[in-house]
Amino acid sequence: MFKKFFNSTKYLYGMTLPEVLVSTALLLVFLSVISNFIAIINKYNPKIEQLTNSSQGLVIDHFYLYQVLDSYIDFLEEPGVSATKIVDIIDSKPIGLKKGCSYNPHLDWDIPIVENSKLKVGWSPEFAGYAICLRSTSITESPFADLVSKSNRINNDASPGIYILLALPSELSSNKIPIRRIFCRPRPYCTK
């Protein structure tokens, strides 16, 4: 019986050369489609080296950065923070950063910030590759005494200052772009 079966299948010796070439071409097309699909997926996901640096990708990092910037702004726009303190922060130049920037403003600028409950434990702008920078605008802050007298309607030339708080990445990429917040200080003298 086995002899009859093997004799009847005399044409089953393997693949011919055209069949090998076609199957190899199909395999290459399949693998290139898969690799392109993985490349597209990885473009929108955080890279492995970013995960080790506590970066969670663009959207999540920006959520945390906005929370951090808002907490710094809440402190900086208070009238208890003097204008000289703001000028000192703007003029500070840490090693390796631009003027007025810091990877850890909490320590470098001596700002007491309460950790926000929305922030992920262990996440910080420094580990995500962002520096926080404070910049002034052309609308400078008048001395506090002039602002107080303005509220008494004696001197109408006094004005609060407008400042920009930035989060600048160490390198620009599709997963790291700068963000900013504009704020007015001191808060009681800013009209909305």
Are 166 and 104 in a shared domain?
A: yes
Token readout for 103 is 């990877």
Q: How many other C-beta atoms can be found within 10 angstroms of the C-beta atom of residue 146?
A: 16
Q: Which domain holds residue 12?
A: 2-44
Are 99 and 27 in a shared domain?
A: no
pLDDT per position as a tens digit, 108-144: 888 887 655 455 556 677 777 888 999 998 888 887 7
Q: What is the pLDDT of residue 135?
A: 92
Are 93 and 137 in a shared domain?
A: yes
Are 178 and 139 in a shared domain?
A: yes
Token readout for 165 is 């708080």
Are 76 and 25 in a shared domain?
A: no
Q: What is the pLDDT of residue 151?
A: 55
Q: What is the pLDDT of residue 156?
A: 62
Are 91 and 25 in a shared domain?
A: no
Number of independent structural domains in the chain: 2
Are 81 and 21 in a shared domain?
A: no
CA pair distance 125, 131, nearest whole angstrom: 7
Q: How many other C-beta atoms can be found within 10 angstroms of the C-beta atom of residue 46?
A: 18
**Residue 169 located in a structural domain:** yes
Are 185 and 108 in a shared domain?
A: yes
Are 154 and 181 in a shared domain?
A: yes
Token readout for 97 is 């950063």
Q: What is the pLDDT of residue 25?
A: 96
**Residue 50 located in a structural domain:** no
> For each of the chain's 192 residues, which pLDDT tens digit applies?
555 555 555 556 778 889 999 999 999 999 999 999 988 887 776 555 444 455 667 788 888 888 888 888 988 888 888 888 888 888 888 888 888 898 888 888 888 876 554 555 566 777 778 889 999 988 888 877 777 776 555 546 778 889 999 999 888 877 788 999 999 988 888 875
Are 12 and 84 in a shared domain?
A: no
**Residue 49 located in a structural domain:** no
CA pair distance 192, 35, nearest whole angstrom: 52
Record the pTM: 0.64
Are 12 and 75 in a shared domain?
A: no
Are 109 and 131 in a shared domain?
A: yes
Q: What is the pLDDT of residue 54?
A: 59
**Residue 92 located in a structural domain:** yes
Q: What is the pLDDT of residue 115?
A: 56
